[in-house]
Structure 1
Amino acid sequence: MAAGLSRRRVIGAGIGIGAGIAVGTMGGAAAHTTGSGPAVAITGTTVIDATGARPLRDVTVLVRGGRIATIGTAREVRVPADADVVDGRGKFVVPGFIDSHVHGSGQEEIDPPLFLVNGVTTVRDMNGHARLYEWRDRVAAGTLFGPRSVVASGIVDGDPSLLAGLGSPYVEVANAREARAAVRQAVADGADFIKVYARLTPDAYHAIAHECRKLGVTFVGHTPDAIPLAEASAAGQRSFEHIYTSWFDTSSQEKEIRRRLAKIRVGGGEYNSWFNQTHPLEVLAARTFDPARARQVFGRLAADGSHQVPTLTQHRVFDLPESVAVHDDRLRYLPAATRNGWQAQLEQLYLAGRSAKDVAEHRELFRARLHWISAAHRAGVPVLAGTDTGTAYVYPGFSLHDELENLVEAGFSPMQALQAATSAPARFLGLPDVGTVRRNAIADLAVLDADPLADIRNTKRIHAVIVGGKLINAGQREHLLSAIETAANTGTLPARLAGCACTPALAAA
């Protein structure tokens, strides 16, 4: 499909939530399918449907059979006697959130429930591990407590790959034949979409584009060094992750940047070397942003329906490491190995040897990233909120709310930021019945204690979550958070799956 990522039918919304909510595997799939359990009614609330329409005030939202049965005034909606009732007075109902760039850890006691307690009911997972395909299918079957997901292939990169030896699932392709074979194998293995990477040759890249069109599969990912952004968009790449080489096209010095980029030579697994060699080109691109060229490039992306996923949360950590809260309360929901690894990365790889010039330069880069994504958005390029969980100090679930703040800082209105995490990714993922609040839509909802249109930070003030029609009320949500914290401190969780090397620190870890 042109705009959707999944090659499968729309994934079912059934999530099992018993009276005593547990973290991890859920037993009895038949008892946990969408449509089981009592109706849920949110009474006297304000609904923000993420379409841009004015909020509906003092209404009741009735959920039955996993979907929104009706929305209306107290006179119009009869609440069943056995319904689970949420007092919505002074509260705001928004669609369940969608994080469009995550890297699952493989620790099912941590990531899946952390997403849900934060109101994140759908994720696009960029980690092509078999375990994450299993998670996707178990959630759809109602036997795993977590968000619905669409999951990437292993990364398809050039030969030699920047990812060699770093633990991420990847395949090296040196030519068009190998590239086509890699796409076919990824689809056979269960990937919902293909993820491309930095070192692909033009022949291999365009072979991937052709094979994806042939198979009806979308491809997304990084902007390869050898392919300008506009060319990649025209070839069919439908999302571009992060703001690294993507902004070379909008520089008045693009020819010089590409001349220098073509001279870069790196061996397998030398991600840090590649990053260090491209960094000066990033600075040059940021300083030579050309509004006229940008309008032309962004117009091409908008016409093609290509999306940008800026992952500003990840960029903030790397560009502004001095701003990281090393005693963040959210750390208690992560295993000690993760906490210790993040601190080591921050101290040894982000902060060590950082000169005053480095600090100033990276602050300049972060401001430029905000400006660039704002310009793309104003030009009509659809933007999706994604966090890049797996990066140090980017938290499953929690950081999606950080990303919404970043988008508002970049100039988005609160409604536009909200849409980047709800209706826009729902359309992109080919999930027409999520990402909004309307009759017959799948009942993925977050109930907030304050108005996100008045202050986007209010998306963090979650009172309750409804997932596929199943209510996680305030008490159950607190119970879940406590259970996650306990699981994080057992010392028995499997090691985290390696994610994409999206920062040099991750590559070196």
Structure 2
Amino acid sequence: MKKYPLIALLCLTICTCQSQEKSPFLYTAFTGATLIDGHGGAPIVNGVLVIQNGRIVSIGTRDQVKIPEKAKIIDASGKTIVPGLINAHGHVGDVQGIEGGHYSAQNVRDNLAIYERYGITSVVSLGGDQPEAEPLRAVHADSHSNPPNARLYIAGEVITGQTPAEALTVVEKNHRMGVDFMKIRVDDNLGSSPKMLEAVYRAVIRRSHELGYKIATHMYYLDDARKLLEAGTDMLAHSVRDLPVDEAFVKLLQQKKVPYCPTLTRELSAFVYGDTASFFSDPYFLKEYDQKTIAPLLNPARQQQIRQSKAARIYKQQLPTAMANLKTLSDAGVPIVFGTDSGVPTRFIGYFEHLELEMMAEAGLSPMQILQSATKNAAEYMGLKNVGTLSPGNYADFLILDADPLADIRNLRKISSVYSLRLRSL
């Protein structure tokens, strides 16, 4: 068994890129790293992670794991390995830079490549998905000759309708296209538009369940969130932002075991461009987004318009409520799943995921709680198979980091390599 330094990862590829017949190695073993498997237990120091054909074979301490013959050994000493991150609420395929309206199969691939470069190895795209995305869904990845860079799960068209019949037409359209989830909006946009009626969303939830789909719900108000839980929604896709959550709501969420996705950066994006955003000078942002891309957001007239926007002021005022509600629900044991609502104009794919991680820390969650929300919780409560933890049989989706994220969640930025449907060294 020959050992290779970590730089050897530059030429390592998964079986979709290089057949086993062309390599003398049947396995790859990463040794010496600290392994955080996503289950919430103590990290494995001086760990061994063995993979074959894109799947995890074994994981444990050096004493526990026997490295197979014909294994390429990668020395990852001094590194930390964590599961690939899962964005349980993103959008894929429509944006280029800060412009929408660019939906195509190639742009789906390009968006997923950006997510992956920032360590997001699975994305649940909750709405706006078109037929071009269907062949790129994760369900097809194992048989795809040229899979995208990150695993993709889609919800199709966001379901709307003034009557049950109108809304159910969209449900059936999504079903025929091929989707992984259904998505509805129950929100009046701060009183500026009609809200989906309860009779309509109950019909949509019922039919989605009959067809075998989980349904995610965009919501804003506490009262709507309560009614949606009672109606059977499978995910609250945003924070409750109008009021502090009460004890009855907490108990209802506990009873239903429905995941709560805070998307704090969604509120941030509503007002942060009223001035020059501080992250515009962050090298971690600028590695993907250049000055030409952000130039329109530096326009003084545009910034003034945002500062004068009533909606922007309200969303800014409500952000502390959203953050406090996240802490309350997390403390109560409600399952928190990581999501950002990125992938629409000015919600920057990849970078906003790291802002979200940091905002969750500001809200009072521990690094382990945050990491689990973006790995095990997201996979378990969204029903994503074989991802989310470093477990035998799961896909080998993981990040190799230069620092410990349990010491500081910002260390998730310090990505040495991403191993997913194909390997990327950054």
Per the TM superposition, whether the score is higher than 0.5 is yes
2:325, 2:110 → 1: CA distance? Answer: 34
1:438, 1:136 → 2: CA distance? Answer: 22
Structure 2 residue 258 is matched with structure 1 residue 306:
yes
Moved more, 177-186 or 405-414: 177-186
1:340, 1:132 → 2: CA distance? Answer: 30
Alpha carbons of 1:219 and 1:421: their partners in 2 closer, same or farther (altered >3 Å)? same
- Determine if contact 2:297/2:303 at 8 Å carries over to the other structure: no
Aligned counterpart for 1:421 among listed residues 374, 378, 396: 374
Please state whether the residue corresponding to 1:308 is helix, strand or coil: coil
2:108, 2:80 → 1: CA distance? Answer: 30
- Determine if contact 2:109/2:149 at 8 Å carries over to the other structure: no
Map 1:470-489 onto structure 2 (within 5 A).
Answer: 470-472=422-424, 477-478=425-426
Q: Cα distance, 1:223 vs. partner? A: 2.4
**Aligned AA (1:74):** R
Alpha carbons of 1:204 and 1:109: their partners in 2 closer, same or farther (altered >3 Å)? closer
Aligned counterpart for 2:206 among listed residues 206, 210, 213: 210
Map 1:47-62 onto structure 2 (within 5 A).
Answer: 47-62=35-50
2:211, 2:310 → 1: CA distance? Answer: 49
2:130 matched to which residue of 1?
129
Alpha carbons of 1:189 and 1:227: their partners in 2 closer, same or farther (altered >3 Å)? farther
TM-score, L = length of structure 2: 0.80
1:325 matched to which residue of 2?
279
Alpha carbons of 1:229 and 1:76: their partners in 2 closer, same or farther (altered >3 Å)? closer
1:495 matched to which residue of 2?
none
1:459 matched to which residue of 2?
412
Map 1:484-495 onto structure 2 (within 5 A).
Answer: none
1:431 matched to which residue of 2?
384
Map 1:2-81 onto structure 2 (within 5 A).
Answer: 19=11, 38-79=26-67
- Determine if contact 1:133/1:190 at 8 Å carries over to the other structure: yes
Higher relative contact order (CA 8 A, sep 6+): 1
1:413, 1:433 → 2: CA distance? Answer: 25
Q: Cα distance, 1:339 vs. partner? A: 3.7
Map 1:223-302 onto structure 2 (within 5 A).
Answer: 223=219, 228-243=224-239, 246-247=240-241, 282=242, 285=243, 289=244, 294-302=246-254
Map 1:90-239 onto structure 2 (within 5 A).
Answer: 90-105=78-93, 106=104, 107-108=107-108, 110-126=110-126, 127-136=128-137, 139-140=141-142, 141-157=144-160, 173-197=161-185, 198=187, 199-223=195-219, 228-239=224-235
**Aligned AA (2:236):** F
Please state whether the residue corresponding to 2:419 is helix, strand or coil: strand
**Aligned AA (1:461):** K
- Determine if contact 1:40/1:64 at 8 Å carries over to the other structure: yes
Q: Cα distance, 1:30 vs. partner? A: 8.7
Q: For residues 334-356 of structure 1, give each alpha carbon's deviation from its aligned partner in whole angstroms, at most 9, with x where no partner exists.
A: 58885445556xx5555436269
- Determine if contact 1:50/1:435 at 8 Å carries over to the other structure: yes
Q: Cα distance, 1:435 vs. partner? A: 0.8
Moved more, 391-400 or 442-451: 391-400
Unpaired segments of 5 or more residues in structure 1?
Answer: 1-16, 158-172, 248-281, 479-509
Aligned-residue sequence identity (percent) comes to: 27
Q: For residues 64-99 of structure 1, give each alpha carbon's deviation from its aligned partner in whole angstroms, at most 9, with x where no partner exists.
A: 232221224435545457544332212111111101
Structure 2 residue 44 is matched with structure 1 residue 89:
no
Alpha carbons of 1:78 and 1:394: their partners in 2 closer, same or farther (altered >3 Å)? same
Please state whether the residue corresponding to 2:357 is helix, strand or coil: helix
1:387 matched to which residue of 2?
340
1:337, 1:54 → 2: CA distance? Answer: 44
User: How many equivalent pairs are there?
Assistant: 389
**Aligned AA (1:308):** Y
Please state whether the residue corresponding to 2:122 is helix, strand or coil: strand
Alpha carbons of 1:226 and 1:94: their partners in 2 closer, same or farther (altered >3 Å)? closer
- Determine if contact 2:34/2:81 at 8 Å carries over to the other structure: yes
2:19, 2:257 → 1: CA distance? Answer: 37
Alpha carbons of 1:230 and 1:86: their partners in 2 closer, same or farther (altered >3 Å)? same
- Determine if contact 2:237/2:262 at 8 Å carries over to the other structure: yes
- Determine if contact 2:307/2:313 at 8 Å carries over to the other structure: no
- Determine if contact 2:157/2:170 at 8 Å carries over to the other structure: no
Q: Cα distance, 1:61 vs. partner? A: 1.1
Aligned counterpart for 1:373 among listed residues 298, 319, 326: 326
Moved more, 214-223 or 90-99: 214-223
**Aligned AA (1:219):** I
Alpha carbons of 1:443 and 1:109: their partners in 2 closer, same or farther (altered >3 Å)? closer
Q: Cα distance, 1:429 vs. partner? A: 2.5
- Determine if contact 1:320/1:362 at 8 Å carries over to the other structure: no
TM-score, L = length of structure 1: 0.68
1:304, 1:350 → 2: CA distance? Answer: 42
2:381, 2:212 → 1: CA distance? Answer: 15
Please state whether the residue corresponding to 2:210 is helix, strand or coil: helix
Please state whether the residue corresponding to 1:309 is helix, strand or coil: coil
Q: For residues 219-267 of structure 1, give each alpha carbon's deviation from its aligned partner in whole angstroms, at most 9, with x where no partner exists.
A: 1121287972111011111112233xx34xxxxxxxxxxxxxxxxxxxx
Q: Cα distance, 1:108 vs. partner? A: 4.5
1:215, 1:356 → 2: CA distance? Answer: 41
2:33, 2:295 → 1: CA distance? Answer: 42
- Determine if contact 2:83/2:399 at 8 Å carries over to the other structure: yes
**Aligned AA (1:297):** F
**Aligned AA (1:375):** T
**Aligned AA (1:128):** D
